[in-house]
Amino acid sequence: MKKILYLLAGLALTANVAQAQVIPMPKPGPAPKINVGKPETFTLPNGLTVMVVENHKLPRVSYSLTMDNAPYAEGNKKGVANMTSALMGTGSKNMPKDKFNEEVDQLGADVNVWGSGAAANGLSKYSGRILELMAEAALYPVFTQEEFDKQKNLIVEDLKSNEKNVPSIARRVKNNLVYGKNHPNGEYLSEETLNNVTLADVKQNYDTYFVPGNAYLVVVGDVKFKDVKKQVTKLFGNWTAGKAPSIAYSDPKDVQYTQINFVDMPNAVQSEISVLNVTNLKMTDKEYFATIIGNQILGGGGGKLFLNLREKHGWTYGSYSSIGGDKYVGNFGATASVRNAVTDSAIVEMLNEIKNIRTNLVSPEDLENAKAKYIGSFVMQIQKPATVARYALLTQTQALAADFYENYIKNINAVTAEDIRAAAQKFFFVDNARIVVVGKAADVLPGLEKTGIPINYFDKWGKAAEKPVTSKPIPAGVTAKTVLDNYIKAIGGEKAVKAVKSIYTKSTGKSAQIPAPIVFTMKVADHKQLVDMTIEGYGSVYKQVVNDKAGYRNGQAGKEEVTGDELKELQASAVPFEELGFLTDAAVKLTGIEAVNGTDAYVVKKGTGSYYYDVATGLKIGEAHEEGAGAEKQVSTTYYSDYKEVKGVKVPHHVIMNIGLELDLTVKEAKINEGVSATDFQ
């Protein structure tokens, strides 16, 4: 039988060869000669630098004014810059709004002005008037309360209309989490901060930041340099000199361990995934070329991410990575929009690809192709007038060497596979990656939990949140009492459970963040508790003791007394089985059914604590406790499994605690009513 199949396969093969016409791939011709053009430039006394690229191919012209100001945070007035941009172009000193709009349209031109620049384009026969209009709107804006109110309402409506827009929420949250809420890149606009902005703030913002000190005006098209110079001098010469303030912000910190930051959007049909870390890559860095080539191989069009997630698995329309090259802090990000069901698998593969480029040398073929792609695109772009202007501008604003673009091809060609691996290790993270996932919790959370990557939850504004409840309806007749009764029955029955006076467990543990073996001891008896953690080679690193009078904890930060409400809470929970107390506590509520690590569990809440009981077995499989409030709020979770009987009562022998770091504990020794003495709690 096998032999026949071989024969058939052979036949099919020959048939194919006979049909196909082998037409060899053509060889490239001689490389086109390139010439890196330079604009003609001049600078006005107020600091404005003007760059002109004459090109008479088409009868059109474009102007663009940019200000190379340092980024700044707006804090509780986030929205000032948005408002300044919205108000500019709504009337100026010498032209009411309607007249201005009418004339711009009349010319068939586009003129736009905003808080940090301006742009205009149109037919070159109107080049002079177009520049006049742009200068008028940019330099002589009038800010009125009426327009302020109107533009504000428009922004508010726009914010509202995007509140269910999954990609838009993902953009906001990821910047907020990566850069932090106080960083210019991390803060976001909200109705609340917009309400703090006044017309006076807008005027001040314009006066402070719309200044010629670091400004560039780029002119491209069917115009003559000498005409432009004359006209710009006339129109922009009076622009009051000034430089925008430059405030330094401390660079955002990466997460200490790789984690998922999850935002629940119940309407999502795709999850927006971003694997992120902070970078400081400048175009002048020696690793710059190796990094962009490495990024091209990893996450360019047809790169590793694309081939894996799209072409191999069909999980996404496209997966890409990007890294900025800028004098200010930026970030690396690998992204994909994938259908809900494959969210966890996609994350695993994305991390694998990043790991791979950090660990292994890229193949000579991949390296050559990526270089060719960059060089080809450079060759195709470089002769275009807009490119000449753009490169000249970057040379100035990014402080590039004067011959940066002359040497561009040479520098790309010099990149080696080793350079790329080193750059990847420096700029693409896997151990400190923040994986922001915005998606539908009910569909994707069970899978995400199975990846074993710690998950923190956030709301759509980037604030810490509780794990989303994707609850299922509670069957009739089930109450908190029946759930708790079932649990007690499942672990041995009320009589056996009530006979437990103390529990002692000694566990060995491991943690991704701790390189050495851990020993974890816990003793509980009648409102007293001892927790002790030792790490091989370090001794005891954490000890917490609670007795009926006082409590303390002794960790890396030194010894600290536990007092007040916290002490009361710890004392209350320092019993072998809290559930015995819950049975008679009116504050205990059954809130629903949720999936915990893929298992349906009843959720019982008491205060800020949640307790999860397996719907099928009745056993407790987890608990979660909130600590702190507001942005500082943290949730600690503990998962229980592998129940084994000890003196007639079932005790979990596998415990995973997540308290900022994750501890995976295996109980080696468990004793009931022995191994505990009063001196343990001193």
Please, which of residues 275-314 interact with other proteins by CB under 8 A? 300-302, 307, 310-314
Asked if residue 290 lies in contact with residue 415, where contact means CB atoms within 8 angstroms, the answer is: yes
Contact with other proteins (CB under 8 A) among 270, 544, 599, 610: 270
Smallest gap from residue 645 Cβ to other proteins (A): 39
Q: Which helix (H) or strand (E) holds 121?
A: strand 117-123
CB of residue 214 to other proteins, shortest distance in Å: 29
Per CB under 8 A, 613 contacts other proteins: no
Instruction: Work out whether 12 is an interface residue with other proteins (CB under 8 A).
Output: no
Q: Give the footprint of other proteins on residues 644-663 (CB under 8 A).
A: none
Identify whether the C-beta of residue 344 lies closer than 8 Å to the C-beta of residue 448. Answer: yes
Q: How far is the CB of 16 from other proteins (least distance, A)?
A: 8
Contact between 24 and other proteins by CB under 8 A: the answer reads yes
Q: Find out whether 443 and 267 touch, Cβ atoms under 8 Å.
A: no
Q: Rg of the Cα trace of the chain?
A: 32
The nearer residue to other proteins, 356 or 673, going by C-beta atoms, is: 356
Question: Residue 411: in which H helix or E strand, if any?
Answer: helix 408-413
User: Residue 472 and residue 446: Cα distance in Å, rounded?
Assistant: 14
State which of positions 428-447 bind other proteins (CB under 8 A): 442
337-356 residues in contact with other proteins (CB under 8 A) are: 337-339
Helices 343-359 and 417-427, interaxial angle, to 10°? Answer: 130
Give the H/E segment covering residue 322: strand 316-323
Q: Does residue 384 touch other proteins according to CB under 8 A?
A: yes
How far apart, in Å, are the Cα atoms of 12 and each of 2, 9, 18?
A: 16, 5, 10
Minimum distance, C-beta of residue 628 to other proteins, in the bound complex (Å): 30
Nearer to other proteins, 158 or 494 (CB): 158
> Which of helix, strand or coil describes residue 67?
strand
- Give counts: helices (H), strands (E), the chain: 21, 25
Q: Which of 15, 71, 164, 226 binds other proteins (CB under 8 A)?
A: 164
Identify the residue among 7, 8, 247, 269 touching other proteins (CB under 8 A).
Answer: 269
Residue of 8, 11, 75, 160 that binds other proteins (CB under 8 A): 160
The CA distance from 461 to 187, in Å, is 10
User: Of residues 29, 45, 537, 558, which one binds other proteins by CB under 8 A?
Assistant: 29
Pick from 245, 167, 177: nearest CA to 208: 245
* Among 8, 58, 341, 583, contact with other proteins (rule: CB under 8 A): 58
Q: Minimum Å distance from CB 258 to other proteins?
A: 25
Q: Smaller CB distance to other proteins: residue 220 or 663? A: 220
**Does 595 participate in binding other proteins (rule CB under 8 A)?**
no
Is 446 or 454 the residue whose CB approaches other proteins more closely?
446
Q: How many whole angstroms separate alpha carbon 198 and alpha carbon 150?
A: 13
Stretch that binds other proteins, among 276-284, 335-343, 394-402, 490-498 (CB under 8 A): 335-343
Minimum CB separation of residue 213 from other proteins in Å reads 30
Handedness of CA 595, 596, 601, 606 (dihedral sign): negative
Instruction: Report the distance separating Cα 551 and Cα 546, nearest Å.
Output: 4
Would you say 372 or 661 has its CB closer to other proteins?
Answer: 372
What is the per-residue binding string for other proteins in 219-258, x denoting contact by CB under 8 A?
----------------------------------------
Q: What are the angstrom distances between the C-alpha of 251 and each of 238, 248, 408?
A: 37, 9, 29
Interacting residue with other proteins among 70, 199, 375, 562 (CB under 8 A): 375
Please identify which residue in 368, 560, 627, 645 interacts with other proteins, judged by CB under 8 A: 368
Contact call for residue 390 and other proteins (CB under 8 A):
no
Considering only CA atoms, which of 277, 324, 580, 615 is closest in space to residue 473?
615
DSSP 669: E
| 244/266 Cα distance (integer angstroms) | 43
Is the Cβ of residue 471 or residue 608 nearer to other proteins in the bound state? Answer: 471
Residues of this chain, 103-132, that bind other proteins according to CB under 8 A: 103-109, 122-126, 128-129, 132
The reply on whether position 145 binds other proteins by CB under 8 A is no
The verdict on 150 binding other proteins (CB under 8 A) reads yes
Decide if residue 369 touches other proteins (CB under 8 A).
Answer: yes
Nearest to 468 by CA among 620, 592, 357: 592
Minimum CB–partner distance for residue 624 and other proteins (Å): 21
User: Cα(397)–Cα(107) distance, rounded to whole angstroms?
Assistant: 33
Of 303 and 325, nearer to other proteins (C-beta) is 303
Euclidean distance between CA atoms 157 and 165, whole angstroms: 14
Q: Which residue in 45, 473, 537, 539 binds other proteins (CB under 8 A)?
A: 473
User: Segment contacting other proteins (CB under 8 A): 193-201, 261-269, 450-458, 623-631?
Assistant: 261-269
Q: How far is the CB of 610 from other proteins (least distance, A)?
A: 20
State how far Cα 169 lies from the chain centre: 11
Beta partners for 537? none
Residue 247, burial from CB neighbour count under 10 angstroms (0-12, 13-18, 19+): exposed
Place of tokens 């058939």: 8
CB 607 within 8 A of CB 622: no
Q: Does 373 bind other proteins (CB under 8 A)?
A: yes
